Amino acid sequence: MSLHNFIRQMPKVELHVHLTGAVTPDLLLKLAQRNKITLPATTPDEMRRWFQFRDFAHFIEIYLTASSCIRTVDDLEEITRHFLARQAQENIRYTEFTHTAYTHYRQAGLLFADQLAALNRARRWARDAFGIDSGIVIDIPRVIPEDEAIMIADWAIAGASDGVVALGLGGPEVGNPPERYASAFARARAAGLPSVPHAGETEGAASIWGALKSLGASRIGHGIRCLEDPALVAALIDQGVVLEVCPTSNVCVAGVPSLPRHPVSAMLDAGLAVCINTDDPGMFDVTLTEEFIKLVDAFAFDARTIETMILEALEASFLPTAEKQQYRSAFRAEFSELRRRCGIL
């Protein structure tokens, strides 16, 4: 199918992908064996069966177990190199990936400065090897006390001149409203770091309102429950907030019952700005190319719709203005040439 070929070859941007969740089953097994950690699986096929999630709570349980296999800064550098190489294979020219530094600090005693140095070595390697670029979102797990969230905000602020582009908020929404972390986000925003919290993934519109009003969100991770409140939809459009939608992830953790019943098409019809992402591609066994192909098959999106979502991601990124303009011009030229080669008007 010509549109599938167009998607495979087109330049891409991804803004919502977790570094630990991007670790493939093969690499996770290698890390577990190296660090003498026993997992409930010993082969890649068993790992994929293990990655069958009942719900979001079950996903978090497995995610934390996977995180425990990362014990050293060398492990961190290896998984980042592996991840960025896979991004290059997908023709993802720019990525903003989320790193939960707090987990590795608590589980393995890795200092933030050492973690950041490892990520940056991998980022420089990927830039030299593949010509792709990336930025780092440091996130707060929304189950920790406020004082520790402030510590993470300070980490992110310290890294703002060294690859960190935003402060995020992840983890289980239920019982953990965004308002709890308002001080940490205010601190980061005052230092010039944008706010990119998860909200409206497993909780309703109130969670998204909290992310907007209390955290000053520039983008919203997921946001798929926004359609429950027309006033919220209007606010998101008015404020130009882009929603980082992750369709396969939402299905895998039972946030939506199936891809054809995903609200992404209705979100676009409502006039919301949407970009498409994989969230945890290693755990959900999906690539960004496959995400777009699934959407084309489920909703009959055309090339222009796909292009628009890629450009929404680019515009919502935290790239410097001049670099963003260079990417924009290059992408539009490539889209035009690809449409011609694939026979798409």
Shortest CA distance to 194 belongs to which of 162, 160, 236?
160
Whether 314 and 94 have beta carbons less than 8 Å apart is answered as: yes
Shortest CA distance to 199 belongs to which of 16, 338, 11?
16
How many beta carbons lie within 10 A of that of residue 159, not counting itself? 22
> What whole-number distance in Å separates Cα of residue 55 and Cα of residue 57?
6
> What CA–CA distances, in Å, run from 319 to 196, 269, 316?
14, 28, 9
Whether 83 and 126 have beta carbons less than 8 Å apart is answered as: no
Shortest CA distance to 270 belongs to which of 317, 303, 299, 229?
229
> What whole-number distance in Å separates Cα of residue 334 and Cα of residue 9?
9
Within the chain, how many helices (H) and strands (E) appear?
A: 17, 8
Mark whether 78 is an active-site residue.
no
Q: Where are the beta strands (DSSP E) in the chain?
A: 12-18, 92-99, 133-141, 164-170, 195-199, 219-222, 242-245, 274-276
Angle made by CA atoms 305, 310, 314, in degrees to the nearest 5: 140
Whether 288 and 22 have beta carbons less than 8 Å apart is answered as: no
Cα Dmax for the chain: 56
Catalytic pick from 14, 173, 201, 307?
Answer: 201
> What whole-number distance in Å separates Cα of residue 286 and Cα of residue 277?
10
Q: Which residues are catalytic?
A: 201
